[in-house]
Structure 1
Amino acid sequence: MAEGSVDSPEELIAKQHRKEKKELQAKIQSIKNAVPKNDKKRRKQMTEEIAKLEADLNQKQEEELKQLKSPDIKTLTVDSEQQEESKQHRVTKAQKRRDKKAAQEKERECRIAEAEVENLLGERHQEGLKLSQKLAQQQLQIKEISSDGHCMYRAIEDQLPGGAMNVKELRCRTAEHMRSNMDDFWPFLTNPNTGDLFTTEEFEKYCSDVEHTSAWGGQLELRALSHILQLPIEVVQADSKTIKIGEEYNGEPITLVYMRHAYGLGEHYNSVEKLKEPVEDT
């Protein structure tokens, strides 16, 4: 080829393919760096994701090479210089279309990878890692509970032997206990607008909400439940010490996981279960 002439379509696509492979390797390295080495489940998902990215790129590049070699695209021998220039012009336009499509696909893949990295570095993921590490010391792991306003009661129900009480019964018994021991709970309840202690009517409404609605439960309700069940209750948190309620009672404690960033609404309780050994790849 004479000096100053443009690259052939084969040379152009070879350059493009080398560039795409280099960019993919950079993206793969970014994904690997974002996944903790001790997170076996996530590392396995990462390996599958990387394999898919590589397979997709190889398939795309093979199809482009086949298209380049197909009869409707490859350059044919012609007699006149004018016909040769016209055909080269058509090949260049086809190459531009392929380059544009490849660039759009590359941009889409980059956005996906960036979103994945952002998720791995996000508050929810980091909180989950810390909680998993704490629970692993007790040979426990998180057991997901639905987020419907009853999560604390559902997590306790999940750990009661033989389904001793369901959510409705737990709520009813909690409200009854708080009404019967008003002096133990009233001093900790204040009107959010005025800061004053609840009136008798406000306290009764609070107990009624505990019993009949999906009002979210907290430490006061956990204290009542500890007395009702006569069991200790532990609440594991990512960035704080474990809260222990009802330490005066013996028996296997009920363990709850408190998450600040579990869902879009924020706070949430999960249950726990025995830690399952990861399945080794064969």
Structure 2
Amino acid sequence: MSTSPEPAAATAITEETLDQIQARHRKEQRDLQSRITQKKKNATKKTRKGVNDECAQLEKELKERQEAEIRKASGEAVEEAPQEDFEPEPEPEPGNDLADSLQSTTLAPPQQPQAQQPQESGSGGGGKKRNRQKERLARRAAEQEAAAVAAESEASNMVDHRSIEKKAMSKTFEKNSLVEKEIAPDGHCLFSAVADQLTLHGVPLDPAEDGRPTVVPYKIVREQAADYLSRHRQDYEAFVEENFDDYVDKIKNTAEWGGQLELAALANAYNVEIRVVQDGGRTEVIPPSSEGIEGEERKVVWLAYYRHGYGLGEHYNSLRKK
């Protein structure tokens, strides 16, 4: 789904299309994940809890801002959160019993009387008042120290899935004399990778036209996938959980990620065999022989599929012969 541009007086955000906003959001999320990973790697025993709190806050702020931008781009009213004149209490780490225990000592709101609260002496206010800010900082420091050992242990047990995945796939690349062509991780990667492969093999992206130089290649491939799904609705509708027409529209007109359903549609639409290299081997998507072109060898499209190699996880690259 896409939206029409706002008037010239609108802000820079509302001048973007919904497609562009979604693509930018994915990049911001990838960048934030990279920052968070680096922060956690550099954290020490004493700073681990503080780093975790900071990372959680960064993720929360990014999520809230992006949700507000999406609502604004969709024409929905954006409500601003009410401002508090006191600092909110930090939330404990999930599963941290000690942090949960400490959290239970949180001060009650100012209007409620505190048990054993020091009384001010005299009508002139000569007694010593409690410093709530220092108390909050003290509790926070205690929580950070209590969670440091657990956080350090958790980090040491983290598996480097990215390196393991890359190493496993490299063996298949070498065996088949393949080299990667990096595709932008912008939500269009599957369609961009297929477009790159089809162009290498001399397969027209739009069989009905000689060429559409003014149209970005991935958009043509998206259209072909969506059109094939629509024409063969009876074969694919059962695999789509949402409204089928809405799903097809997203594949055609937005940055919706493509997957196995779209690979099958593209293999049939272009009459090519699609081989996908991934951790654990490779999968093949082959259209029915009855739809092949007699006497002509079917082209083979090679793609690399990553689950962990990129910021947002799933990603496709194009694989070319050496």
Q: TM-score, normalised by structure 1?
A: 0.49
Q: Which has the higher helix share?
A: 1
Q: Of the two structures, which has the highest relative contact order with CA contacts closer than 8 Å and spacing of 6 or more?
A: 2
Q: Highest Rg: 1 or 2?
A: 1
